Structure 1
Amino acid sequence: MNRLLLSLGLLFAAISQAQAHSADEHAGHDMPAVAASAQATPVRFADVALTDQDGQAVHLERDLVNDRIVVMSFIYTSCTTVCPVVSSILGKVQRQLGERVGRDVQLVSLSIDPQRDDARRLNDYARAFQNGPGWSWLTGSPSAVTATLKGLGSFSGDLTRHAPLILVGDGNSRNWTRYYGFTDPAVLVREVERLGAQRQAHAGHNVAALEQQP
């Protein structure tokens, strides 16, 4: 009986310690699931090499954004609060957009913890959320990731201050919107569709202008 009580006591202590660590690591992560606020924002892409979940070197702007519409999140694999929710939101966006993802739409998730998140960890993590092609999970050297985050206005320097954030933008027009909070996937899909409609209208305007030339 004494041995059983001792085992139960050790188990309780371990659980309490794990909960305390989790609360410390994710301080500031408990955010209400309310409609996210949106703000138009400029972005700058650092010219640095990153690594995707397959271990391939990529440049964010040249290889992934390019002329696509992009939905981008910021996560790390050991996060157990905000990041799984944000990744689940992008997973729903992928399902709702269907075959457009990987064609004219690109999903990107950038780890903000490059010291621990290598390609293998990202690949394992992605399996819980990704359904099909067109979603790149990125890490890299700490300096490359920091430069990338600073250019995107998403650098905090402290994992415990990491808040839900998703960027949606058009690589052609450079129109980007920053979504704070846990955003309804339908809101993100509507923004992708709006950017796509703008593209079509712009293309139609260019065709009309060419036809009017003598």
Structure 2
Amino acid sequence: MKGCNTRAAKLFTLLSLTLLSASVQAHSPEQHAHAHAKPTEAADATVHFAAVPLLDQHGQTVNLKEDLVADKLVVMSFVYTSCTTVCPVVSGLMKQVQDQLGERIGSEVQLVSISVDPLRDTPTRLQQYAQGFNAGDGWSWLTGTTQSINQTLKGLGAWAADYDAHPPLIMVGDGRSDNWSRFYGFTAPEVLVAKVNELSHARHSLAQHNPAIHAGAHP
């Protein structure tokens, strides 16, 4: 009888471990991403925009600095479409920023998502992916040649040798003042929107003290 009880206990332990393992592996991509992400932290950033051609989700050639950043306030993320953990969460956060900023997107604020896997992320694939997040006209999704993307990412301080292990990162900046911040981890959309508003208020404050700037620049 003692031997039977021992075997039963071992079987129960093995079954419990199997169920626990299955539970861990079956959690959602969002849970997986949160489990592996660093706590949210922000850092001031110095950026350089590589003068290279990129392609948006419509297959149009664009220059990141001249055509999209220009003098706008910008919220920028880095993703790839085959990612099932970090990237859907980051893109979901961007979608919430889009929703919260509403009509300001496309006029005062530009959203940009850059693929870190240009070999697979064609414009068509990016467009299909963007539709899953109801991306509007003011949200551009960019890809390009490997060389162009690598130069772009390095200039922005967002390049990683292994794109599959790139950290969750969203940047917020002002194309006019070149004031940029990097937000590492899963940053609440309210924090990102607050940073956009901070940069917007700084613009208006500067314009009030310098009418010439106000007269020659857009909001």
With the length of structure 1 as denominator, give the TM-score of the two structures.
0.82
1:209 deviates by: 9.8
Please tell me the root mean square deviation across aligned C-alpha atoms, in Å: 2.3
The count of corresponding residues between Structure 1 and Structure 2 is 186
8 Å Cα contact 1:28/1:163 also seen in 2 = no
Contact 1:39 1:179 in 2 (8 A): yes
Please identify, of 153-162 and 94-103, the stretch whose mean Cα deviation from structure 2 is larger.
153-162
Deviations 1:103-136 (A, max 9, x none): 0100000000000000000000001113422000
Q: CA deviation at 1:79?
A: 0.1
Q: Distance in 2 between matches of 1:154 and 1:207?
A: 36
Q: Which amino acid aligns with 1:133?
A: D
| Cα separation, 2, equivalents of 1:148 and 1:209 | 29
Q: Say which of 77, 98, 108 aligns to 1:73.
A: 77
1:88 is aligned with what amino acid? G
The match for 2:131 is 127
Question: Which has the higher Rg, Structure 1 or Structure 2?
Answer: 2
- Residues 32-181 of structure 1 aligned to structure 2 (within 5 Å): 32=37, 34=39, 36-181=40-185
Change (3 A) 1:93 1:28: closer
Change in 2 beyond 3 A, CA 1:208/1:123: closer
- Give the equivalent residue in structure 2 for 1:7: none
Runs of at least 4 residues off by over 3 Å: 27-30
Q: What is the percentage of aligned positions where both structures have the same residue?
A: 54
Distance apart, 1:142 and its partner CA: 0.3
1:74·1:166 contact (CA, 8 Å) conserved in 2? Answer: yes
Q: Distance in 2 between matches of 1:209 and 1:89?
A: 33
**Cα separation, 1, equivalents of 2:78 and 2:34:** 13
1:31 aligns with 2:47: no
Normalising by structure 2, what TM-score? 0.80
CA contact (8 A) 1:69 1:168 kept: yes
Whether the 8 Å contact between 1:68 and 1:170 is mirrored in structure 2 is yes
User: Structure 1: which 5+ runs fail to align?
Assistant: 1-15, 20-26
Structure 2, gaps ≥5 residues long: 1-21, 26-31, 215-219
